[in-house]
């Protein structure tokens, strides 16, 4: 039996069937509830323009809501031999409602149907990623405030440079996550556009009410030009991928810092034994495997925008089957990033901070700039003060009390935690989470 929306009665060769369907049946299960919601809005619109009677609409909506409950509860399946989610839903409706079920595709192509599914899916997934990033942000802000008085070395060129603090270090990653979400919010706006009604990319002779479906599906607005709507396939995925790569970059850098700072030569932080791994030969080892894997996964995630961009390179406007392959890249990457955010937040619940790092004399030179500034404040010209402290270092006479007095915005003594939090709250509003 041929259960394809595009079938005219023939049967494709099995080799072609297997190659073209690919992983669609597996991946499309994630689109099930979105596909049904899109169909519910489409049915309501079809009634409004006279293509469905009130009785037909009521019957279709009842059946679709039954399918939606199944999809939302995770019980929806795609039967063997059915190509994708769209075919499965229409097959279920037709089996239950007969000719009424066959009317649901009026004024719609599988092209704009899958676009709606993907837009709704990506919109929801971006909201989940935003919530995951916000949870990690909260943890970092808590750690920043909790350890704001604990000094640590700052580095440039990987050389001991100037005093930093755990407040600065944790706080830096929290603000950077906020900036990453600002990029994600831009991608969210690109995604939050309704393509339904563009059909195969050239509209329909039916008097479709696209404003109605835009409102019913909760989109911010529609893709007005029907060709532009189809051209959003690939662009929306790449925009999302860029936001994901930004988060992955921040998370990967944090993981790299943690792997370094756990090293015994640093000894800045540690984790309980049960959150580290050991060696098969060295009984003393406490390896940062979790953060090494986060680092590796996030490095891989940063290739996603390029992978999707290359998949779309040189494709003229209109639909092409190449687009199907983007799901293979994007869907697993979303899961990977959500998992990395969750595990990082869990691990940081248990981080242990060394509060006595600077007791070691090797960190005395962190305070040379503090001494230069003290001399300048006492009236000495900066360049003379710089040379004087340099002579003290060269002659082994430099002494320091290892105190800092940083008061300007964003410095050790003025972390601007609340300002950064407010910045994050404003960005989160862009994701329509309420």
Same-domain status, 376 and 333: no
Same-domain status, 155 and 244: yes
Same-domain status, 272 and 369: no
CATH for 285: 1.20.200.10
Give yes or no for residue 53 having a pLDDT over 90.
Answer: yes
- pLDDT for the residue numbered 399: 87
Length of the chain: 434
Please indicate, yes or no, if residue 181 is contained in any of the structural domains: yes
Same-domain status, 101 and 156: no
Please indicate, yes or no, if residue 377 is contained in any of the structural domains: yes
Q: Which of 84, 106, 128 is the last residue of a domain?
A: 106
Q: Which of 106, 138, 165 is the last residue of a domain?
A: 106
Same-domain status, 102 and 166: no
Same-domain status, 60 and 102: yes
Please indicate, yes or no, if residue 145 is contained in any of the structural domains: yes
Same-domain status, 173 and 282: yes
SS3 for 225-293 is: CHHHHHHHHHHHHHHHHHHHHHHHHHHHHHHHHHHHHHCCCCCCEECCHHHCECCCCCCCCCECHHHHH
- pLDDT for the residue numbered 1: 45
Give yes or no for residue 400 having a pLDDT over 90.
Answer: no
What does the alpha-carbon distance between residue 144 and residue 194 come to, in Å, rounded to a whole number? 41
Query: In this structure, is the dihedral angle defined by the CA atoms of residues 146, 151, 155 and 161, taken in order, positive or negative?
Result: positive
Per-residue pLDDT band at 73 (split at 50, 70, 90): very high
- pLDDT for the residue numbered 6: 46
Same-domain status, 377 and 252: no
- Of 295, 307, 312, which is closest to residue 331 (Cα–Cα)? 307
Please indicate, yes or no, if residue 9 is contained in any of the structural domains: no
- pLDDT for the residue numbered 358: 92
Q: Look up the domain containing 191 and give its range.
A: 111-205+223-359+406-431
Please indicate, yes or no, if residue 313 is contained in any of the structural domains: yes
What percent of the chain has a predicted confidence (pLDDT) above 70? 93
Per-residue pLDDT band at 248 (split at 50, 70, 90): very high
Same-domain status, 53 and 130: no
Give mean pLDDT, residues 264-289: 81
Per-residue pLDDT band at 10 (split at 50, 70, 90): low
Same-domain status, 137 and 55: no
Half-sphere exposure of residue 94, counting CA atoms within 13 Å on the CB side?
14
Please indicate, yes or no, if residue 210 is contained in any of the structural domains: no
Q: Which of 91, 106, 121 is the last residue of a domain?
A: 106
Per-residue pLDDT band at 166 (split at 50, 70, 90): very high
SS3 for the chain is: CCECCCCCCCCCCHHHHHHHHCCHHHHHHHHHHHHHHHHHHHHHHHHHCCCCCHHHHHHHHHHHHHHHHHHHCCCCCCCCCECCHHHHHHHHHHHHHCHHHHHHHCCCCHHHHHHHHHHHHHHHHHHHHHHHHHHHHHHHHHHHHHCCCCEEEEEECCEEEEEEEHHHHHHHHHHHHHHHHHHHHHHHHHHCEECCCCCCCCCCCCCCCHHHHHHHCCCCEECCCHHHHHHHHHHHHHHHHHHHHHHHHHHHHHHHHHHHHHCCCCCCEECCHHHCECCCCCCCCCECHHHHHHHHHHHHHCCHHHHHHHHHCCCCCCCCHHHHHHHHHHHHHHHHHHHHHHHHHHHHCCCEECCCHHHCHHHHHHHHHHHHHHHHHCCCCHHHHHHHHHHHHHCCCCCCCCCCCCCCCCECCECCHHHHHHHHHHHHHHHCCC
What does the alpha-carbon distance between residue 322 and residue 183 come to, in Å, rounded to a whole number? 26
Please indicate, yes or no, if residue 8 is contained in any of the structural domains: no
Residue with structure tokens 């109605």?
A: 212
| Max mean pLDDT range (321-325, 360-364, 394-398, 416-420) | 416-420
In the chain, the number of structural domains is 3
CATH for 87: 1.10.275.10
What is the per-residue pLDDT across 94-153, written as a single tens digit (0 to 9) for each?
999 999 999 999 999 889 999 999 999 999 999 999 999 999 999 999 999 999 999 999
Please indicate, yes or no, if residue 215 is contained in any of the structural domains: no
What does the alpha-carbon distance between residue 288 and residue 294 come to, in Å, rounded to a whole number? 10
The residue ranking higher by pLDDT, 2 or 266, is: 266
Per-residue pLDDT band at 426 (split at 50, 70, 90): very high
Same-domain status, 374 and 417: no
Give mean pLDDT, residues 163-188: 97
What does the alpha-carbon distance between residue 108 and residue 39 come to, in Å, rounded to a whole number? 10
- CB distance 333 to 244 below 8 Å: yes
Per-residue pLDDT band at 173 (split at 50, 70, 90): very high
- Of 234, 205, 192, which is closest to residue 324 (Cα–Cα)? 234
Give mean pLDDT, residues 208-229: 95
Same-domain status, 87 and 99: yes
What mean pLDDT, rounded, does the chain reach? 90
């Amino acid at each position: 039996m041929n259960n394809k929306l595009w079938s005219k009665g023939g049967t494709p060769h099995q080799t072609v069937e297997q190659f073209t369907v690919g992983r669609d049946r597996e991946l499309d299960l994630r689109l099930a509830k979105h596909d049904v919601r899109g169909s519910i809005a489409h049915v309501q619109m079809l009634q409004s323009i006279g293509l469905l009677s009130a009785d037909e609409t009521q019957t279709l909506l009842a059946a679709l809501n039954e399918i939606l409950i199944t999809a939302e509860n995770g019980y929806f399946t795609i039967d063997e031999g059915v190509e994708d989610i769209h075919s499965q839903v229409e097959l279920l409706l037709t089996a239950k409602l007969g000719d009424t079920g066959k009317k649901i595709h009026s004024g719609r192509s599988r092209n704009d149907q899958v676009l709606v599914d993907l837009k709704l899916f990506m919109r929801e997934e971006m909201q989940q990623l935003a919530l995951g990033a916000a949870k990690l942000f909260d943890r970092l802000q808590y750690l920043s405030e909790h350890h704001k008085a604990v000094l640590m070395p700052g580095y440039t060129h990987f050389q001991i440079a100037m005093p930093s603090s755990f407040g600065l270090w944790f706080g830096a990653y929290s603000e950077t996550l906020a900036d990453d979400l600002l990029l994600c919010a831009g991608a969210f706006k690109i995604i939050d556009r309704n393509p339904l009604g563009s059909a195969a990319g050239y509209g329909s002779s039916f008097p479709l009410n696209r404003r109605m479906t835009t409102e019913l599906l909760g989109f911010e607005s529609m893709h007005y030009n029907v060709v532009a709507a189809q051209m959003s396939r690939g662009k929306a995925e790449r925009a999302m991928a860029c936001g994901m790569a930004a988060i992955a970059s921040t998370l990967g850098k944090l993981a790299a810092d943690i792997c370094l700072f756990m090293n015994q030569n640093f000894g800045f932080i540690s984790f309980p034994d049960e959150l580290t791994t050991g060696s098969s030969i060295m009984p003393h080892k406490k390896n940062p495997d979790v953060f090494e894997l986060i680092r590796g996964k996030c490095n891989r995630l940063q290739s996603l925008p390029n992978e999707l961009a290359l998949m779309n390179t040189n494709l003229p406007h209109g639909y092409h089957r190449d687009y199907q392959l983007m799901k293979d890249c994007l869907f697993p990457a979303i899961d990977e990033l959500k998992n990395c955010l969750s595990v990082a937040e869990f691990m940081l619940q248990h981080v242990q901070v060394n509060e006595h790092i600077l007791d070691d004399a090797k960190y005395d030179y962190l305070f040379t700039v503090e001494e230069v500034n003290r001399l300048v404040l006492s009236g000495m010209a900066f360049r003379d003060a710089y040379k004087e402290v340099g002579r003290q270092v060269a002659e082994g006479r430099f002494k320091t009390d290892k105190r800092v007095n940083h008061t300007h915005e964003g410095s050790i003594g003025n972390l601007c935690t609340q300002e950064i939090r407010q910045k994050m709250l404003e960005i989160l509003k862009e994701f329509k989470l309420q």
